[in-house]
Structure 1
């Protein structure tokens, strides 16, 4: 079995010692780090293992389409571990289970973004955020939402929009006033942050969702920034059209 391990992998680290013992059990292991990981490294790989915290797991997920991810928490006392499956002490036994085919995979839904008809990378595992690049300035945009066969379109002012998956719903989305939902739910929820509501502008779209056949289109009225999982940023302008929908390529995460 050929494994790509995404970690810092300091020579004398705890992770290195655990992986050294794994090497003697018939695994072929290749190392990479999240800041230098390239799609070409996935060629011929059977499994991707991220060792670190949620940030490492999130970054590793951005390169995966049809490869399973085993997310390992290397320091449970310091890392929340919302995205990880096991702790570092359990890695060797878990890999033996995987090698024997005794494991389960869950599908975590992701969001895809198009800008002017071009699909952008990566797919979002947590959320997509669109807002004025300067947080103290109002975000102005036109939003069109297709949901349950109906189309609603309106101009809005707010401090930005969050499109959240179930996986990301316990993070920023929840802090901004959203209600968490299942990571396996086949929908994305939309939250308009701090909507600028006055007598002349009462919005129809404040909290809504995008299901499998739905989409949302955003046309900025000013320069804005679009962030995928708070890692990848795109600058968008009034000349751009943004389309957000559910991806048909969920993340395959190995569970206990």
Structure 2
């Protein structure tokens, strides 16, 4: 053992494992997919290759320090130590899901299947893991800061986002709220608000700008149409499908939330209002009538090992 620091390996279930959970047995899953003309072999191949990679990583990490293996589903309840080193083996989204439960611990992203996963947040392969881990242990590794968004409510609830926050209705109905930014207040009705970080600005946020450009027939917000830096000390908010009426307006539908400032939203919805981050609806907080949400740049930053 080379270190007393705990090494945490985060993975998620493969598609084959999820199919087994859904259909009860692999035989049932295979029958169903092949009945629909779908190849079952691709799921088996992906699973087997991932498992071979996972076993290799487990063996390496276990030879270096105390190893803790985590499945994505337990992240919200697991208590990370300040000195933990986190290795994420999986898709880019798993890195984002992991970062929001940390408090600046270094994260090493490992791409187990480079031919399948883009790997924007997974710069290393398994064969590079030992060398980069030694750099981290020697405090010689380069890291890239990642700005996080944070929402705090008057009910004492708080939530972090690595990519984006959604504030709106649970279903396909209208969200009603009072928007207040820098003393400019407006009653609004919309299908919800997206607040994006730099890391998330090439995802949902980018699609919003692309859609607005298509409707306008010309480039909209061209300077950030391809995103903004991960470490940028600001966020952007965008109101989805704002609806003007006698009691609601559409003047403040897009803007930048500067560090040290907060976008304040007061719910006008009797029920069904919700706030969730990074597409994880299962880890949401309520945004129903009486709830006031302050959205701002978090003091907590993510730390992605880059070299």
Give the secondary-structure state (helix, strand or coil) at the position aligned to 1:177.
Answer: helix
- Would you say the 8 A contact 2:12–2:94 is kept in 1? no
1:36 Cα shift? 1.8
Q: CA 1:238–1:14 in 2, change beyond 3 Å: closer, same or farther? A: same
Among 34, 57, 60, the alignment partner of 1:18 is 57
Is residue 2:85 matched to residue 1:86?
no
Residue matched to 2:305: 254
Q: How far, CA to CA, are the matches of 2:266 and 2:189 in structure 1?
A: 12
Residue matched to 1:230: 279
Q: How far, CA to CA, are the matches of 2:81 and 2:201 in structure 1?
A: 32
1:39 Cα shift? 5.9
- Would you say the 8 A contact 1:18–1:92 is kept in 2? no
Residue matched to 1:193: 240
Give the secondary-structure state (helix, strand or coil) at the position aligned to 1:250.
Answer: strand
Residue matched to 2:148: 110
Is residue 2:262 matched to residue 1:215?
yes
Q: How far, CA to CA, are the matches of 2:228 and 2:12 in structure 1?
A: 32
Structure 1: give runs of 5+ residues left out of the alignment.
none
Superposed CA deviations along residues 50-108 of structure 1, whole A, max 9, x for unmatched, are 11112321222122113111122222222232332323332222213223333111211
Residue matched to 2:250: 203
| 1:118-197 to 2 correspondences below 5 Å | 118-121=156-159, 123-135=160-172, 137-146=173-182, 151-177=183-209, 179=225, 180-197=227-244
Q: How far, CA to CA, are the matches of 1:211 and 1:63 in structure 2?
A: 23
TM-score after normalising by structure 1? 0.87
Is residue 2:89 matched to residue 1:51?
yes
1:198 Cα shift? 6.1
TM-score after normalising by structure 2? 0.73
User: How many corresponding residue pairs?
Assistant: 249
Higher alpha-carbon Rg: 2
Give the secondary-structure state (helix, strand or coil) at the position aligned to 1:176.
Answer: helix
Choose between structure 1 and 2: higher strand proportion.
1
Give the secondary-structure state (helix, strand or coil) at the position aligned to 2:95.
Answer: helix
Give the secondary-structure state (helix, strand or coil) at the position aligned to 1:141.
Answer: strand
| 1:22-101 to 2 correspondences below 5 Å | 22-24=61-63, 26-37=64-75, 41-43=79-81, 45-101=83-139
Structure 2: give runs of 5+ residues left out of the alignment.
14-47, 211-224
Q: CA 1:78–1:205 in 2, change beyond 3 Å: closer, same or farther? A: same
Q: CA 1:38–1:235 in 2, change beyond 3 Å: closer, same or farther? A: closer
